[in-house]
Amino acid sequence: MVLLHAAPVYYGLGVPRGDNSAVVIIPGFMLTDLYLVELYGWLGRIGYEPYFSGIGLNADCPNLLIRRKLTETIRRARRKTGRKIHVIGHSLGGVLARSIACELQEEVASVITLGAPFRGTVAHPRLLQAVEVVRKQIKQNHGTKVLPDCYSGACTCSFLDSLCRDLPGDMAQTAIYTRNDGLVDWRYCITGNPDVDVEVSGTHVGLGFNPSVYYIIAKRLAATHSPRPA
């Protein structure tokens, strides 16, 4: 974080100004919105209207998180600004971002993912152990409200189904990744399209505080026009 605070990009220097459109940011696995408070504040400084996801701790059934909280946040931001919404997600938050973008195509202008394994899950063993703990807790908390394979690749919910679909061609997307991720396999965090995939140096956790990531976000958001309705 020290490097981020020392970087000119953090103060809005050398990056294009925003157009006051809304940006919803989604935290990663086992994290809350507070993890992305630096990103939230920075987006406001460079001319966007940032919104926290409102999902609380990202350790619950993704389908429920989207239905109960994230959809509400995105639609509220759309009503407030009158424009399509940009969505940025870190790690599992990026997976949620792509899923809801498929479901709310008329609401979302662009999706930016940071180290998000949206093509599959190959992760560090300790991370997979944490996932299994959360999966058991979800079943205990929700019972028959979730599917038997909830929080696993075998689940058949609409959350995973949406990930199997391509994003609309007119929706801008960016997949930021690092080969030194350390927690997930970077090859599952890319689309295979060099116009979409952007590599940076650093670690998985550090993507939320990486000056290079902030610069890329500013450039990609500015390149995506989100007009007001006529």
CATH number belonging to domain 2-123+158-222 = 3.40.50.1820
Sequence-ordered strand ranges (E) for 59-191: 85-90, 108-114, 172-177
* Distance in angstroms (rounded) separating the CA atoms of residues 182 and 206: 11
Number of neighbours of residue 93 by Cβ within 10 angstroms: 30
What integer pLDDT is reported at residue 65 of this predicted model? Answer: 78
CA distance 35 to 12: 20
Q: What is the pLDDT of residues 26-50, one digit of tens each?
A: 998 878 999 999 999 999 999 999 9
Domain boundaries, the chain: 2-123+158-222
pLDDT-flagged residues of the chain (< 50): 122-124, 147, 230
**What is the predicted pLDDT for the residue at 123?**
47
Helix then strand then coil, % of the chain, to nearest 5: 45, 15, 40
- Compute the CA torsion angle 121, 123, 125, 126 (nearest 10 deg): -110
Nearest by Cα to 13 from 200, 215, 221, 212: 215
